Amino acid sequence: MTPNDALLAAVAGIANACSALPGLVTGGQPNEAQFRAARAAGAATVLDIRDPMEPRPFDEPALAASLGFKYVNISVTGGTLDDATMEKILAVLRDPAAAPVFFHCGSGNRVGGALIPYFMLDQGMAEDDAVALAMRVGLRGADLLHWGLDYAHRHSV
């Protein structure tokens, strides 16, 4: 069993749980048991892109601190679909010390949009493949698709 397999098994039952790439498992909002299981399965970082004001079933930052793993919250809302937000997300994903990362939002929709540039710019995926994988992760919103593609196109070499 690979580390990704163990982490994916730990978050089973989360909406759109997906082993996107080695060292990266994605999904929607975990419950406390799934959060604990993700840490036990080796997650080093939780990247949460829900707005801090969105309701959650438990206090993620406090639980992450008590379990000894890194918690990063970068709010992705309709008003934060910009380069600065994308660059904060990419900085976490590009940090080898952060892996393995459990990357989540409420449903996987925002995660999918945010991953498109990572798939294209960092993983060398063709646009169609990046979009297909983003949809597997949970992408459904046209605004998020546009955000990810626009960033990737403007930052490609």
Q: Where are the domains of the chain?
A: 3-155
A 10 A CB-CB count for 125 gives 19
CATH number of 3-155: 3.90.190.10
| Residues 120/128, Cβ–Cβ less than 8 Å | no
- The tens-digit pLDDT sequence of the chain (157 residues) is 788 899 999 999 999 999 999 999 999 999 999 999 999 999 999 999 999 999 999 999 999 999 999 999 999 999 999 999 999 999 999 999 999 999 999 999 999 999 999 999 999 999 999 999 999 999 999 999 999 999 999 999 7
| Residues 86/60, Cβ–Cβ less than 8 Å | no
For the whole model, what pTM was predicted? 0.96
Report DSSP letters for the chain, one per residue. --HHHHHHHHTTTSTT-EEEETTEEEES---HHHHHHHHHTT--EEEE-S-TTS--SS-HHHHHHHHT-EEEE----GGG-SHHHHHHHHHHHH-GGG-SEEEE-SSSHHHHHHHHHIIIIIT---HHHHHHHHHHHT---HHHHHHHHHHHHHH--
- Is the N-terminal amide bond of 100 cis, ω within 30° of 0? yes
